[in-house]
Amino acid sequence: MERVAVVGGGTMGNGIAQIFAMNGFSVTLIETRQELAEKALSTIEKNLGRMVSKEKISEEEKEATLERIESSTDTASAVKDVDLVIEAVPELYDIKKKVFQTIDENAPEHAIFASNTSSISITKLAECTGRPEQFIGMHFFNPVPVMKLVEVINGLKTDPEITDQIISLSDQLGKVAVPANDSPGFVSNRVLMPMINEAIFCVYEGVAEPEDIDSIMKLGMAHPMGPLRLADFIGLDVCLDILEVLYEGFKDPKYRPCPLLVKMVDAGKLGNKTGEGFFTY
């Protein structure tokens, strides 16, 4: 496996492109508009620059990594000769479906398709393509260059041979692959999102101030970030999308999104990316 395309250059996509390029792969980062592609590349450059200043990589390694990444706004031609496509577009089924249909029509027969979805069914996404056996979930965590985990999710038809390839690929990237079966939210977000939602209910019901809720979880449970700062970091819109997938998927009221979360998303308070969420940035 040598050539990789990453569709989507947002927080997850640019991190995924960065780690593949750092590990010697040729990467094409696909975005919808040129300015978004440029923004993704400059984020990667900034993050590599931070690694140089912390002496984790050399200036030469940074330059070589950047040379291995090109960008494109034309998905069809960008996937023509790739071995693997990783999709990291917004967490909405219809957008992902359209992307996978285009990729399926244009990528070589042997190419593996992976989705970085944080909660949508891999089995359902796989059926948007004519090759569900070569389709898998490869779920990275933010910040991608730092977090060790790749949650690997098999769809109902995923070929075990493809799973083995993705597990050894994760190892090549310096990550630890942990398998989970296809179920709403998989393991990571089925456990994480109810905790975040419950922290938001504590704000909603006036149990404690956001700062104090986070301090309790950081100092008492040794979490590196409190649940509300983490929610801001992930994006409140993304948290809401995932909770809705859990709520719809299980039809269980325990996953109902807190009304305060819905209201904040409606008001455009999405966390770090908009400068305001439970905290200001």
Give the residue numbers annotated as catalytic, written as ranges.
118, 139, 151, 189
Judged by CB under 6 A, the number of residues near ligand CAA is 17
* Residue whose C-alpha is closest to residue 170's, from 226, 130, 114: 114
Indicate the angle between helix axes 11-22 and 59-67, nearest 10 degrees.
110
Judged by beta carbon, residue 135 or residue 186, the one nearer ligand CAA is: 186
Q: How far is the CB of 13 from ligand CAA (least distance, A)?
A: 12
List the x/- string, 158-197, binding to ligand CAA by CB under 6 A.
------------------------------xx--------
- Which of 234, 258, 261, 264 contacts ligand CAA by CB under 6 A? 234
Backbone angles phi, psi at 114, to 5 degrees: -125, 145
Which residues contact residue 210 at a Cβ distance below 8 angstroms, ignoring those fewer than 6 apart?
203, 228, 278, 279
Piece of 95-103, 160-168, 224-232, 255-263 that binds ligand CAA (CB under 6 A): 224-232
Q: How far is the CB of 108 from ligand CAA (least distance, A)?
A: 29
Judged by beta carbon, residue 18 or residue 107, the one nearer ligand CAA is: 18
Q: Which of residues 93-122 bind ligand CAA (CB under 6 A)?
A: 118
137 binds ligand CAA (CB under 6 A): no
- Which of 76, 92, 95, 146 contacts ligand CAA by CB under 6 A? 146
List the x/- string, 35-54, binding to ligand CAA by CB under 6 A.
------------x--xx--x
Token couple for 51: 């690694």
Separation between Cα atoms, residue 248 and residue 237, nearest integer Å: 16
Q: How far is the CB of 50 from ligand CAA (least distance, A)?
A: 5
Judged by beta carbon, residue 83 or residue 214, the one nearer ligand CAA is: 214
145 binds ligand CAA (CB under 6 A): yes
Separation between Cα atoms, residue 139 and residue 182, nearest integer Å: 12
Separation between Cα atoms, residue 34 and residue 260, nearest integer Å: 35
Q: How far is the CB of 22 from ligand CAA (least distance, A)?
A: 10
65 binds ligand CAA (CB under 6 A): no
Distance of CA 13 to the CA centre of its chain: 7
Separation between Cα atoms, residue 61 and residue 44, nearest integer Å: 13
What's the angle, vertex CA 119, arms to CA 222 and CA 105, rounded to 5?
Answer: 140
Separation between Cα atoms, residue 148 and residue 176, nearest integer Å: 6
* Residue whose C-alpha is closest to residue 4's, from 26, 23, 24: 26
CB 241 within 8 A of CB 92: yes
243 binds ligand CAA (CB under 6 A): no
Judged by beta carbon, residue 142 or residue 163, the one nearer ligand CAA is: 142
225 binds ligand CAA (CB under 6 A): yes
Q: Give 30's strand partners.
A: 7, 72
Residue whose C-beta lies closest to ligand CAA: 118
CB 147 within 8 A of CB 140: yes
Q: Which residues bind ligand CAA (CB under 6 A)?
A: 47, 50-51, 54, 118, 141-143, 145-147, 188-189, 224-225, 230, 234
